[in-house]
Amino acid sequence: MTTTWFILARAVHIGACLLFFGVFAFDRFVVAAISAKGKIEISNYWQIRIRFLNLILLPVVLLSGIAWFALVAMTMSGQPLQAEILKTVWTQTQFGTVWKIRLIFWFAAAVAAILFHFSKQQTALQRFSIWLQLFFSGALLGSLAWAGHGQETSVWHLSADVLHLLVAGFWPTGLLPFALLLRKLRQAPDPAHWQSIAALVRRFSALSLGSVALLAATGLINSWFLAGSFSNLLEQPYGRWLLAKIILFCFAVAISAVNLLRLKPRLLIENSQTQNPEATIAQLQFNVQTELILGTAIIIIVAILGILPPAAH
């Protein structure tokens, strides 16, 4: 039962950290660029979503992190949860040191969220608070590498692990805010919302392409350090879960390729010819939802991998 709760706590915490960073990365590199071109309806809707997601994600990150820490303390001691055990892990272990630093990052992100909440829209203070949240949520996400297997091998593996986490905050995590905006724009009565959708798809597709390439490269490095050989992917429990993650990632990339190479050009052509691209957008939205399901499954597998000994060990 402890193992099940451990996996659940890790999955929720990793997923919340990814989304927390992904929200602000999406804001700065997708929504901000589109809003600068006069797409004000996107910006106004997105401001509301950021405030809502802040209220949800900040406590989820904190509570799931506390649960993860408590379960690690129980695992280290082999005893039921006690205050003395928590204190020992907090003050005398590397894991405790990492969690102290991550708690500082969380508090800094929370302060930036308060600044954002009380600032007026489209002001310098609001933009500054978003950049702060992007930085500290990225630090919170990237520091997860010190809580995994990356810190057990080499600095190259650790660096690849940090980059892998951060890039995953763009894609596939960015698919959730992308899906929210896509659904909102589909409901807009203004005929010009087709142009907004086309601009959104164009911008997000460019970032996704680079993210997939970086994820593949850093994932290959991580797999080399953790699996050791191709045979370990089939013979060791860690290797089989890692192989399942790779397969799901390939499925997600295949769907993303359909979106990029088939649906995006069709959407842009239909939009330029003032046709109704509703069927294309509906297919795009379905594909994005499927990618999100695959991404959720990948996060669960990552949570499982974190409690298994690497196949190369």
Percent of the chain with pLDDT over 70: 88
Is the separation of the CB atoms in 221 and 159 below 8 Å? Answer: no
Greater confidence (310 vs 236) lies with 236
Mean local confidence (pLDDT), 270-281: 66
Confidence at residue 126, expressed as pLDDT on a 0 to 100 scale: 85
Going by pLDDT thresholds of 50, 70 and 90, the confidence category of residue 157 is confident
Query: Roughly what angle, to the nearest 10 degrees, separates helices 124-142 and 155-168?
Result: 130
CA 85 to chain CA mean position, Å: 32
Burial class (CB in 10 A: 0-12, 13-18, 19+), 70: middle
Confidence at residue 263, expressed as pLDDT on a 0 to 100 scale: 83
- Tens of pLDDT, residue by residue over 27-67, are 999 888 776 655 566 777 888 888 899 999 999 999 999 99
Q: Concatenated DSSP letters for 38-71?
A: T-HHHHHHHHHHHHHHHHHHHHHHHHHHHHHHHH
250 closest CA partner among 304, 205, 295: 295
Confidence at residue 152, expressed as pLDDT on a 0 to 100 scale: 59
DSSP-derived letter for residue 145 is G
Confidence at residue 286, expressed as pLDDT on a 0 to 100 scale: 92
Burial class (CB in 10 A: 0-12, 13-18, 19+), 67: middle
Confidence at residue 164, expressed as pLDDT on a 0 to 100 scale: 93
- Tens of pLDDT, residue by residue over 218-271, are 988 888 887 767 777 777 888 889 899 999 999 999 998 888 888 888 877 755
